[in-house]
Amino acid sequence: MNGAFKITLAAGLLAGLAACGNDDAGGGPLGALTQAAGQAVAERRGGQDPAAPARTPTDAAAEALRVNPGPLIQAGFESLGRTQVMAMTGQNGALRTYMTPSEEALILRGGMLVGTRGLGNDLSVAEPQTEALIRAGRSGSGQRVMRYFTGDGLERPLSFDCTVGPGPNAGVVVENCGGHGTSFQNSYMSQGGQIAVSRQWVGPALGYVTIQTLRP
């Protein structure tokens, strides 16, 4: 379970952000991330030592925290093989939208993934009856309904039966779900009712995403 909470930080984080071009580069949280990434890449290319090691994703997270005063997360998309810093671009009640400069977005409710946008095979909305159990660290069971966008723009709901219980390590809660010929396990670590670190299943196509709060 240690691996479930070890965020796999992709070495190409800065390059990935810079490759998003100038989208929203004029200002706002995404502009700050884009400009910082572009500056870091330019500094590396302009250095005297072409063999100098690239900055680590941990450095990228630190730089994002420096240039962006707002809420930030770091998300590792396992099936896509990349990790990105995402800035909060909107809030509607308890729902927060975090976005990359290329407008790929995760929608979270206190750290619980409830939707994605711009990634393809997007999760329209997740409706986990197990959410209260997870936040409280209690054992129990409930249904999780995951609604996905189809090619015709409609939503296709998939319902899974889930059980929640403690993980093998202190402070870790696991959610085991099954249905429709598949099974998956989500892992959560909460602080004060907020999910600070997690590994959550997005869907059959996108697989898992690890999410870590950089700044709440």
Pairing assessment for the beta strands 207-215 and 194-203 based on DSSP bridges: antiparallel
Residue 145: CATH number of its domain = 2.40.360.10
Which amino acid would we find at residue 203? Answer: G
Domain membership flag for residue 155: yes
Domain count, the chain: 1
Instruction: Report helix, strand or coil for 153.
Output: coil
CB 64 within 8 A of CB 214: yes
**pLDDT tens for residues 108-145?**
999 999 999 999 899 999 999 999 999 999 999 999 99
**Separation of alpha carbons 10 and 163, rounded Å:** 31
Domain membership flag for residue 1: no
**Separation of alpha carbons 110 and 122, rounded Å:** 20
Element (H, E) at 189: strand 182-191
**Separation of alpha carbons 12 and 23, rounded Å:** 19
**Separation of alpha carbons 152 and 147, rounded Å:** 14
Domain membership flag for residue 170: yes
Which range of residues forms the domain containing residue 188?
Answer: 57-215
**pLDDT tens for residues 22-59?**
333 344 544 444 444 444 444 434 445 555 565 677 87
Crossing angle of the two packed helices 57-67 and 28-46, in degrees rounded to 10:
130
Domain membership flag for residue 186: yes
Domain membership flag for residue 211: yes
- Of 67-71, 84-88, 107-111, 117-121, the range with the lowest mean pLDDT is 67-71
Domain membership flag for residue 33: no
- As a whole-number percent, the residues of the chain with pLDDT over 90 amount to 60
